[in-house]
Amino acid sequence: MTATSGTIGRWQGAGLMATTLLGTGVFILPQMTIDIAGAGALLAWGLLTLAIIPIALVFARLGSKYAHAAGPAYFVEQAFGRLLGRAIGLCFLLIVPIGAPAAILMTMQFINALVPISGWVEVSCELAVLLLLLVVNLRGIQVSAKAQLLLTLAMAAVVIAMCLSGIIHPALDGGLQRADVEIPTMLKAFGIAFWSFLGIEAMTHLSADFRRPAQDLVPAMMTGTVLVGAIYLACSWLLLQTDTDAPVAMMGAFDTLLGGYGAAVIGGLGIASGLATVNVYSASVARLLCSFSEQGILPGWFKQRNQYQVPVRALAIVLLVMAGVIVINYVADVSLEQLLSWANGVFVGIYLLSMLAALKLLDKSARPLALFSSTVCLLLAYSLGSAMIYAIVLLVVLLVLLWWQQRIKQRRAPTQHPC
């Protein structure tokens, strides 16, 4: 692989991590989980945050020890062989162009709360977002990393201000009395909330972009993960305390707690964080595509980089595929929930195999964490239920195709290189 000149520092990495995880869901997912599980949503968020921390730590250790643009695909390859590693890489490559448009669709909820739009006008706005991301990424991920650190601090400041007001505000209804906690609904909320932590593995694709990956990747990922878990818990607590009929519940909660302008503040931050999520995924998948090109898995056309070491052709293709998915999604009327469930299932599979790889690649001190993290991934798979079928079928099909490709190359080898 061609080395990249590291430009991301520890705090910039923490900002990238946090805004990637906060993303589109920070002001939407808490309300979705509350609608499903009531007060049990708070328990679901707390348990998920505790469960994700060791997964993030394992990914950070893998990324710092095996800094490579292929991320989880490289870890799995090192542990279990080239065939499974390449299949995981292609899974990630194929699912992100679906997951990222889903994130854009969620971002449009904030835009619609400010300026109602629909139809092809909405589709045109979504495509314009992709064009903006292309321009932003041409100078390298470090440009957006600095802006995203400021965005993370702004979002944290807003949530802290709302929490402080929530503690002393006399207009609250006393909260936390929205049905009893039930295990089945809590597990369902647990599975939906998992979307909020998609992005942990994306940082490992960018490990080579850190100035000092061995020293900075672990603290950056842990800082971002803990901060995000705290913010989601705080948002869930606030919504359980506040009744509102606003289209985006956090906007109504902001109006109640801080006296107005919820649509502007929450809407603005929601749009910015949504763009940040898609930005990091676009950059990470483009680097994965470039890495596959450099390894000969995919055509060499994708490996060209510009003066900022950005794989321009790979980035353009990734964004073009996302644009196609957005248009197809609108024409075929595919639901957002379906896109989210497919993405969650594939990512759970990627996480599980990465944690199993860590059992072989990391030293003995990290194995208890990797084993616990593998168990968490199995629990997430159980929570997602039938959504995992898509992920399993995708992995099996890719394994068969890659095995067949390997057999064809082996048969041609004697002809091309006679003894």
Q: At what angle do helices 213-241 and 141-168 cross, to 10 degrees?
A: 30
Q: Which fold has domain 10-408?
A: Amino acid/polyamine transporter I (1.20.1740)
> What residue type is assigned to position 391 of the chain?
A
The Cα–Cα gap between 75 and 294 comes to 17
The Cα–Cα gap between 286 and 293 comes to 11
Res 12: pLDDT: 74
Please state, as a whole number, how many other Cβ atoms lie within 10 Å of the Cβ of residue 185.
19
Share of the chain above pLDDT 70, in %: 87
Is the distance from CB of 238 to CB of 260 less than 8 angstroms? no
Averaged pLDDT for residues 405-413:
76
Please state, as a whole number, how many other Cβ atoms lie within 10 Å of the Cβ of residue 350.
25
The owner of tokens 């999520």 is 277
Res 2: pLDDT: 42
The Cα–Cα gap between 192 and 166 comes to 26
CA atoms within 13 Å, Cβ hemisphere of 126: 29
Q: What is the DSSP letter of 208?
A: G
Vertex 55: Cα angle to 204 and 187 (nearest 5): 130
From 277, 285, 281, 225, select the one nearest 19 (Cα to Cα).
277
Residues 6+ apart with CB under 8 A from 136: 143, 144, 279
**Over the range 35-70, which residues count as b (16 or more CB within 10 Å of their CB) and which as e?**
ebbbbbbbbbbebbbebbbbbbbbbbbbbbbbbbbb
pLDDT band at 172 (very low <50, low <70, confident <90, very high): low
Res 214: pLDDT: 67
Q: At what angle do helices 262-295 and 312-332 cross, to 10 degrees?
A: 120
Q: At what angle do helices 312-332 and 119-137 cross, to 10 degrees?
A: 170
Helices (H), 296-387: 312-332, 336-361, 367-384
Averaged pLDDT for residues 205-215:
70
Q: Which residues pair with 210 in a beta bridge?
A: 8
Provide the mean pLDDT of the chain.
80
- Which range (48-62, 125-139, 368-382) has the least confidence? 125-139
pLDDT band at 157 (very low <50, low <70, confident <90, very high): confident
Confidence check: pLDDT of 3 > 50 = no
Averaged pLDDT for residues 175-182:
59
Domain layout of the chain by residue ranges: 10-408
Res 4: pLDDT: 47
Confidence check: pLDDT of 58 > 50 = yes
For the stretch 282-336, pLDDT in tens is 777 788 788 778 777 777 787 778 777 778 888 888 888 888 888 988 888 877 7
SS3 201: coil
pLDDT band at 356 (very low <50, low <70, confident <90, very high): very high
pLDDT band at 99 (very low <50, low <70, confident <90, very high): confident
Confidence check: pLDDT of 78 > 90 = yes
pLDDT band at 407 (very low <50, low <70, confident <90, very high): confident
**Over the range 286-304, which residues count as b (16 or more CB within 10 Å of their CB) and which as e?**
bbbbbbbbbbebbeeebbe
pLDDT band at 357 (very low <50, low <70, confident <90, very high): very high
Cα 117–chain centre separation: 26
From 23, 47, 20, 44, select the one nearest 32 (Cα to Cα).
44
